[in-house]
Structure 1
Amino acid sequence: MAFLHTGEVRLRAAAPPRPDVLLVTSQGGHLAQLLTLREWWGTRRRLWVAPPTPDVQDRLEREVVINSHFPTTRNARNALRNVVLAWRVLRRHRPRLVVSAGAGVTAPFFVVAWLLRIPTVFIEVYDRVDSATLTGRLVGPFTTRQVVQWESQLAAYPDATVVGPLL
């Protein structure tokens, strides 16, 4: 896997010239939900943004990954660092679409994508069935399309598309 980190490249693979999709994720369940979409993203030029945690490194071993700054929960410094990272990544790579299932690193990328007029898709997580996540509420104004996994999630996201459970 190539880990790209704010200009530094530890190389095994090169980033695609212009990715069709930039997949932005946190570790754990957020990543697991995006991995279930492999049939869709596997046929596209793609680039990932994710923290350099062991599960990310293991699960995205053959992917090109740009390291995000973490932790993001209650960490203003890393949130600001991810804003700068989002600006650099989106300006340099200009993906055709940004997709995320959360969490903290999503907001900077969706805001910058919105500023650059790059479409975004936010997938609300599987286990939040009766209210919106903080990430979902933060990125809502900057999201082109919202996707939910349960009919009950439409109460929080009335304009969303129900795709059914991903896990």
Structure 2
Amino acid sequence: MKRARATTEILAIASGGGHWDELMLLRSAFTGRSVVYATTNPQLSMRDNIVDLAVLPDCNRDQVRKSLRCMWASLQLVLQLRPKVVVTTGALPGLFCLIAGRVIGAQTVWVDSIANSDAPSLSGRVARPFTSLWLTQWEHLAGGRRVLYRGALL
């Protein structure tokens, strides 16, 4: 995937499964913007009619080598695209892109999964210092200016 650096406004990323489904619910918010989607499952581009898709290696915190490979690929993607905004619904690949986005000066948005009803996710807690906006989908988990509730996606 080779593209000009100045063309990507938004990098929207999520792991496959529920994280991706929640990201797809945000698609209408990106209308009229230059968006590149990224995920760990290439089949999702056909299912959801995504033209501009980047595929990252899948990983989780228990897979150190895969996580390092995904971290490197995430950094390369963000450096190539230079997005103005990075939006993610998680999980670990989204966290890596969010941190890389913050390092290059992008605005960063973390939307914690609806599945995390008792406490923010581990990735979400790690993401918090790197976010411009951190959203929970559970009103009782909101607190102060750092964790906001603006409704649920599902």
**Alignment TM-score, normalising by the size of structure 1:** 0.82
Deviates more, 1:21-30 or 1:33-42: 33-42
Output the amino acid matched with 2:147: A
Check whether the contact 2:45–2:51 (CA below 8 A) recurs between aligned residues.
Answer: no
Q: Deviations over 1:1-51 (max 9, x none)?
A: xxx4xx7xxxxxx78852111011001111111111121113211001101
Residues 1:162 and 2:154 aligned together: no
2:45 counterpart of 1:57: yes
1:45 to 34, 41, 53: 34
Using the aligned pairs only, state the percent identity: 23
Alignment partners' CA distance in 2, 1:126 and 1:58 = 25
Cα distance in 2 for partners of 1:65, 1:146 equals 24
Is this contact kept in 1: 2:14–2:20, CA < 8 A? yes
Secondary structure class of the residue paired with 2:87: strand
Corresponding position: 1:24 with 2:13: yes
State the distance in 1 between where 2:146 and 2:136 align.
10
- In the superposition, the TM-score normalised over structure 2's length comes to 0.88
- Does 1:120 find its partner at 2:108? yes
For structure 2, list consecutive stretches of 5 or more residues without a partner in the other structure: none
Deviates more, 1:44-53 or 1:119-128: 44-53
How many residues align? The count is 154
Structure 1 residue runs of 5 or longer lacking an equivalent are 8-13
The aligned amino acid for 1:38 is R
1:67 lines up with 2:55 in the alignment: yes
